């Protein structure tokens, strides 16, 4: 069965704390288009590390116009005010507060830039745009945002320069606190959301020996940022978490191998449980194997050539048996197969050994490609799993960014390991 996750906004912030900015909040209120013909859009993300940990962003506003943030204890059906709908009032128990308190600091005031993005003028945003919500609601006295509380937010703004009295509102956003962060373990690399052409049309002869398995080339969108291990899981890491080391070759910094797909998933499950217990994972995130699309996107790191180092792969680029580009062996032997992770240069994303060393398990079942563009593809239900990247015991053709292997999930091999990603939960 082929499944594609719904397209979600990309994670927006790179945080000094190392936490992933996770989209949060539920939109409400029938927003009215502003004078640009578009709805002013309010979104939220956790992980700011400031105040309540909630960061609000506003887009599609009216360029040049003033705006500020509102908070309320109820999400209501709304009252028409000027050109828009205010959805924080209208019941006997609804209370509304504004973060630029009259005669006080303009702590959420800003204006929309030429692209309609809210720019903060008061220094209350760690990014310069939007607003970092503090840990209090601006009442008198201030109301502390408590664990388990739900607060509702909206943005008021001027609508048109020609009618200064006209105003409008964004959608509403309901947020329940606290906002659990996503904090990756050491050695995880942030991979930004984006699109790429997956597959290869390489010719069937030397040096690439292309095949229909990588065709048709099709556009893939990875809709959310994720984190990937900068290197394959090492024997030391596997031993520390699982209490055993099944590897044929022995060394703490060598990649763990002789693990089947279920072993690799068990490691990821144990790592998820460990980090969840430590309070480092938000609901909906897990450590898991990468999807095949995530793997190729991360391997390519923006490149379109057959390898992420260019059109050729030489012995100095990766750990593999022989190169069709130099027509020579690479001095690898059966008695000394794998090499310490990170022994070769990283790709543009900062990932090591995406070519060679050990094959890497992917989460997907193996299936043929379709021609249509897809978002977050993920294949389930097949008898075999995808492996990627080539290994020490293979030639350069198997190390291509687009090359796809198919392997039984219960069959370990001393040429096969894995690396983990930290990403939204998927069930194979």
Kind of pairing between the strands at 218-222 and 374-375: parallel
pLDDT of residue 25: 87
Backbone phi and psi for residue 396, each to the nearest 5 degrees, phi listed first: -65, -30
Tell me the sheet residues that pair with 234: 255
pLDDT of residue 4: 30
In CATH, what class is 188-424? Answer: alpha beta
* pLDDT tens digits, one per residue of 117-126: 999 888 888 8
pLDDT of residue 179: 66
pLDDT of residue 372: 96
* pLDDT tens digits, one per residue of 128-163: 999 999 988 988 888 988 767 899 999 999 998 665
pTM of the model: 0.66
pLDDT-above-70 percentage for the chain: 91
Once rounded to an integer, what is the mean pLDDT over residues 260-284?
92
Reported as type and span, the H/E element at residue 268 is: helix 261-277
Mean pLDDT of the chain: 90
What is d(CA 225, CA 220) in angstroms, rounded to the nearest whole number? 14
Report the range of poorest mean pLDDT among 139-148, 248-257, 324-333, 385-394.
139-148
pLDDT-above-90 percentage for the chain: 74
Query: Would you list the domain boundaries of the chain?
Result: 21-176, 188-424
Q: In what order do the strands lie in the sheet with 385-388?
A: 405-407, 385-388, 359-365, 416-417
What angle, 0 to 180 degrees and rounded to 10, lies between the N-to-C axes of helices 261-277 and 235-242? 70
Nearest to 407 by CA among 392, 381, 388: 388
Once rounded to an integer, what is the mean pLDDT over residues 320-348?
95
pLDDT of residue 181: 66
pLDDT surpassing 90 at residue 365: yes
């Amino acid at each position: 069965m082929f499944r594609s996750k719904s397209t979600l906004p990309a994670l927006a912030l790179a945080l000094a704390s190392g936490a992933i900015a996770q989209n949060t909040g539920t939109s409400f209120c029938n927003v009215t288009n502003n004078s640009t013909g578009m709805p002013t859009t309010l979104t939220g993300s956790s992980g700011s590390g400031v105040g309540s940990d909630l960061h609000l962003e506003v887009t599609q506003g009216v360029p040049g116009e003033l705006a500020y943030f509102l908070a309320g204890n109820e999400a209501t059906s709304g009252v028409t005010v000027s050109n828009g709908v205010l959805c924080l009032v209208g019941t006997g128990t609804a209370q509304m507060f504004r973060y630029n308190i009259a005669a006080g600091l303009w702590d959420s005031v800003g204006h929309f830039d030429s692209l309609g993005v809210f720019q903060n003028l008061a220094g209350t945003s760690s990014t310069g745009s939007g607003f970092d919500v503090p840990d209090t609601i601006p009442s008198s006295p201030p109301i502390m945002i408590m664990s388990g509380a739900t607060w509702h937010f909206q943005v008021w703004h001027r609508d048109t320069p020609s009618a200064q009295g006209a105003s409008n509102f964004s959608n509403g956003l309901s947020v329940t606190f606290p906002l659990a962060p996503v904090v990756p373990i050491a050695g995880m690399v942030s991979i930004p959301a984006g699109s790429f052409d997956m597959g290869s049309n390489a010719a069937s002869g030397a040096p690439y020996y292309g095949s229909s398995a990588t065709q048709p080339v099709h556009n893939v969108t990875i809709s959310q940022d994720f984190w990937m291990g900068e290197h394959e899981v090492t024997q030391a890491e596997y031993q520390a978490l699982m209490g055993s080391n099944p590897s044929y070759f022995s060394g703490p910094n060598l990649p763990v191998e002789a693990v089947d797909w279920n072993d690799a998933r068990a490691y990821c499950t144990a790592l998820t449980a460990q980090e969840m217990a430590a309070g480092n994972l938000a609901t909906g995130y897990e450590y898991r194997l990468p999807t095949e699309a995530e793997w190729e996107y991360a391997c390519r790191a923006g490149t379109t050539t057959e390898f992420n180092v260019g059109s050729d792969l030489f012995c100095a680029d990766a750990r593999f048996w022989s190169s069709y580009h130099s027509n020579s062996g690479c001095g690898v032997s059966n008695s000394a197969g794998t090499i310490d992770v990170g022994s070769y240069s990283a790709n543009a994303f900062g990932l090591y050994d995406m070519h060679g060393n050990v094959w890497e398990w992917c989460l997907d079942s193996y299936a043929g490609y379709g021609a249509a563009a897809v978002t977050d593809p993920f294949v389930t239900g097949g008898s075999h799993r995808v492996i990627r990247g080539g290994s020490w015991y293979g030639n350069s053709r198997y190390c291509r960014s687009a090359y796809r292997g198919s392997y039984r999930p219960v069959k370990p091999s001393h040429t096969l390991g894995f690396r983990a990603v930290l990403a939204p939960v998927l069930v194979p």
